[in-house]
Amino acid sequence: MRFLLRLASLVALAAAVIAGTIDSIQSVAASTVVVTPISDAWQDVSPATLTSLQSSLSYYIHPRFYAFIFQWLMLQPAFAVFLVIALLLWMIGYKKPPVAGRFTA
Sorted by where each begins, the domain ranges of the chain are 1-35+78-94, 37-76
Asked if residues 5 and 89 have their Cβ atoms less than 8 Å apart, the reply is: yes
pLDDT at 96 over 90: no
Q: Is the dihedral of CA 17, 23, 21, 54 positive or negative?
A: positive
Per-residue pLDDT at 104: 63
Cα–Cα separations (whole angstroms), residue 58 to 14, 19, 38, 45, 97: 30, 27, 18, 21, 42
Q: What pLDDT shows up at residue 53?
A: 84
Supply the pTM of this predicted model: 0.79
Mean pLDDT of 43-56: 88
**SS3 of residue 37 by DSSP:** strand
From CA 77, how far away is CA 84, in angstroms rounded? 11
C-alpha separations of 92 from 12, 84, 86, 97 in Å:
14, 12, 10, 14
